[in-house]
Chains A and B, each alone.
Chain A
Amino acid sequence: MDKLSVITSFVHNIVVFNIPLLYGTVGEIMVEKSGSLNLGVEGTMAVGAIFGYIFGCYANSLGVGIMVAFLAGALFGLLFAALTVSLQANQNITGLTLTTFGLGIYFFVGNSVKANGWPVMGNYSNIKDGFADIDIPLLSDIPVIGRGLFSHNMLVFLGIAIAVGVWWYLKHTTLGLKLRAIGENPAAADSVGINVKRMKYIHICVGCGIMGIGGYYMGLNMSGSFNSSCWINGYGWIAVALVIFANWSPAIAIIGTFVFGFFNTLRVSGTSIAAAFPDQFGWLAHIPTQMYQALPFIITAIVLVVMSIRNKRGSSGLPSALGQNYFREER
Chain B
Amino acid sequence: MRFHVVKRDNWPLWKRAVAYLIAVVAALLIGAVILLAIGVNPIDYYYQLFTMGTVGNRFAYKTFMNYIKEFLPLALTSVALSLAFKMKFWNIGGEGQFIMGSISATYIALTLGQTLPMWLTLIVMCVVAMLVAGLYGLLAGFLKVKFGTNETLMTLMLNYIALYLLYFIGETKASWNIFLQESSMRPVFVNFSKFVSFPSIKMGGKFELNICVILTAIIGVLIYIYLKRTKHGYEISVIGDSVGTAKYAGMKTNKIVLRTAFISAALIGLAASFKVGSAGVLSTAITDDVGWTGVIVAWLAQLNTGMIFVVSALICVLQFGSTVAATTYAQVDSSFANMLQGIILFLVLAADFFIRFRIVRVKKGE
Give the docked Cα–Cα distance between A298 and B160 (Å).
Answer: 9
Give the docked Cα–Cα distance between A117 and B38 (Å).
Answer: 15
Q: Which residues of A contact B147 (CB under 8 A)?
A: 305, 308-309, 311-312
Q: Which residues of B contact A90 (CB under 8 A)?
A: 299, 349
B336 at the A interface (CB under 8 A): yes
A91 CB → nearest B CB, Å: 9
B16 CB → nearest A CB, Å: 16
Given contacts A93-B296, A96-B296, contact A311 B148 (CB under 8 A): yes
User: Considering the complex, which residues of chain B in the window 328-346 have a beta carbon less than 8 Å from any beta carbon of chain A?
Assistant: 331, 333, 335-343, 345-346
- Asked whether, in the complex, the Cβ of A107 is within 8 Å of the Cβ of B296, the reply is no
User: Considering the complex, which residues of chain A in the window 81-111 have a beta carbon less than 8 Å from any beta carbon of chain B?
Assistant: 83, 86-90, 92-94, 96-108, 111
- Asked whether, in the complex, the Cβ of A308 is within 8 Å of the Cβ of B156, the reply is no
- Asked whether, in the complex, the Cβ of A96 is within 8 Å of the Cβ of B154, the reply is no
Q: Which residues of A contact B331 (CB under 8 A)?
A: 112, 115
- Asked whether, in the complex, the Cβ of A301 is within 8 Å of the Cβ of B168, the reply is no
Of B333, B345, B357, the residue contacting A107 (CB under 8 A) is B333
Give the docked Cα–Cα distance between A89 and B296 (Å).
Answer: 12
A237 at the B interface (CB under 8 A): yes
Comparing A4-12, A60-68, A203-211, A286-294, the segment that makes contact with chain B is A286-294
- Asked whether, in the complex, the Cβ of B335 is within 8 Å of the Cβ of A108, the reply is yes
Of A86, A288, A297, the residue contacting B157 (CB under 8 A) is A297
**Size bracket of the A interface:** 35 or more
Give the docked Cα–Cα distance between A139 and B158 (Å).
Answer: 41
B143 CB → nearest A CB, Å: 6
Cβ-closest chain B residue relative to A237: B160
B62 at the A interface (CB under 8 A): no
A274 at the B interface (CB under 8 A): no
B152 at the A interface (CB under 8 A): yes
Q: Which residues of B come within 8 Å of A, CB atoms?
A: 4-7, 38, 90, 92, 143, 147-150, 152-154, 156-158, 160-161, 164-165, 167-168, 171-172, 292-293, 295-296, 299, 331, 333, 335-343, 345-346, 349-350, 352-353, 356-357
New contact pairs (12) apart from A290-B165, A297-B164, A304-B157, CB-CB < 8 Å: A39-B152, A79-B346, A89-B349, A96-B295, A97-B345, A99-B292, A100-B292, A101-B338, A237-B160, A297-B161, A308-B150, A311-B147
Q: List 26 A-B contacts (CB under 8 A).
A: A39-B156, A83-B349, A83-B350, A88-B353, A88-B357, A89-B352, A92-B92, A93-B345, A94-B349, A96-B292, A100-B292, A100-B293, A101-B339, A101-B342, A104-B341, A237-B156, A237-B160, A241-B156, A244-B153, A290-B164, A300-B157, A301-B161, A308-B143, A308-B147, A308-B149, A323-B152
